[in-house]
Amino acid sequence: MSEILTPVTPAQRIKSLDVLRGFAVLGILIMNIQSFSMIGAAYLNPTAYGDLTGVNWWVWLLSHIFTDQKFMTIFSILFGAGILLFTERIEASQRSPRSLHYRRIMWLLLIGAIHGYLFWQGDILFSYALCGLLVYLFRKLRPTRLFVIGLIVISVASLLYLFFGWTIKFWPRESYEMNLQWWQPSQDTVTKELTMLRGDFVSQLAYRIPMTFMFQTMIFLIWNGWRVGGLMLVGMALYKWGFLSAQRSGKLYVIAALIGYGIGIPVVACGVQHNIDAGWTMDFSMFFGWQYNYWGSLFISAGHIAVVMLIMQSKLFQRMKNYLAAVGRTAFTNYLAQTFICTTIFYGHGFGLFGSVDRIHQLIIVTAIWLVQIPISVIWLKYFRFGPFEWFWRTLTYWKIQPMRPEPTGN
């Protein structure tokens, strides 16, 4: 009788990946809350909306240097590693992983579409699913090839933006003005966005649906798809090298952290200064000034990963590692819960605070959410094997209701 495939048990998990995933899902909220609480233009152009002086300036600067695109990078790397973990386990039982992988990805695609169109236009799950459909085909390549191809794929978005910047003087006037309204919106445009997202659920959909469609089509084709897909390939390479499972020497992780931070932080900081000098104009900052963080974030993300691996190799911070691992094991649930919490706080169906919370108070809200999600994740996993959405996704993937209660330990 053939073996029935089931999800991995807690004992089969790689703790370093869970800890890194927990670190990423908490950290990504630092940037996502700007999208939840402020107009869309403010995410890329900090001068487009809100106070940018005093403590709010420092919150933006530090979050830009250490979090903007960094946790998305880590998540994409982890997703690539996760594809290998998933398929290798199935192949170990002498089966083809193709049908289960594509079923798993197609369900994620549907969940991401629902999340984006109905709840929050900043959804990333849809992009992960689309890229996951393709990168699966590369999983058998040697890690060096995966890494090089991944970097080439990542560079495509950078080259496209350079091309757009160099050709901007040839754009039709209507295209230029439309793009400018996205980068530096007029007061009428700002007022319209505030009104729609402070309104009822139907009013929000009038804004969210076209924005989600744009992110899942045009933005995916010129930016998001190339970066996410390339990083998944890099993640596969790092997993094969043992870099993500804390298997390499401590010396290597120290070197990676020093190089990552030593190159990444100055590059991103230099980009900030050049954008300030250029007055945050669309012609420069959207296409050329953007490049500093696009590439610098890769180095800083490598530094973040290396530091987490060093902590995993250390005997210190055991409680913190257990807490982060619990958040990581329920990362899907925590990511979606952040949407439900933040949209309730900021959008019209809840407290309607959209556009009225400055950056320092956004950070306070982020901290409060962390203080809720961390203990709930720990307590939940004392009684259940998976987070609610992890259980739902696994049940759909294996087309069999998964047991929620943990297996008896025999103690």
State the angle between helix axes of 318-329 and 15-37 in degrees (0 to 180), rounded to the nearest 10. Answer: 70
**DSSP annotation of 406:** P
The 10s digit of each residue's pLDDT in 38-97 is: 999 999 999 999 999 999 999 999 999 999 999 999 999 999 999 999 999 888 888 889
Mean pLDDT of 334-353: 97
The 10s digit of each residue's pLDDT in 375-409 is: 999 999 999 999 999 999 999 999 999 888 876 55
Q: What are phi and psi of 247, to 5 degrees?
A: -95, -15
Quick one: pLDDT at residue 6?
55
The greatest distance separating any two alpha carbons of the chain, rounded to the nearest whole angstrom, comes to 73
Q: In whole angstroms, give the CA distance from residue 114 to residue 347.
A: 18
What does the angle CA 180 – CA 35 – CA 283 come to, to the nearest 5 degrees?
A: 25
> Model pTM?
0.93
The 10s digit of each residue's pLDDT in 210-235 is: 999 999 999 999 999 999 999 999 99
Residue with tokens 């649930």: 333
Residue with tokens 């998540």: 75
The 10s digit of each residue's pLDDT in 148-166 is: 999 999 999 999 999 999 9
Quick one: pLDDT at residue 322?
96
Burial class from Cβ neighbours inside 10 Å (0-12, 13-18, 19+) for residue 37 reads buried
Residue with tokens 């890329």: 44
Q: Are the beta carbons of 224 and 215 closer than 8 angstroms?
A: yes
Torsion of CA 234, 60, 351, 368, to 10 degrees: 70
Give the pLDDT band (50/70/90) at residue 3. very low
Quick one: pLDDT at residue 171?
93
- Of 312, 307, 313, the closest CA to residue 253 belongs to 307
Quick one: pLDDT at residue 93?
82
Read off the tokens for 267: 């590059």
- Of 335, 333, 352, the closest CA to residue 343 belongs to 352
Coil vs helix vs strand at 132 = helix
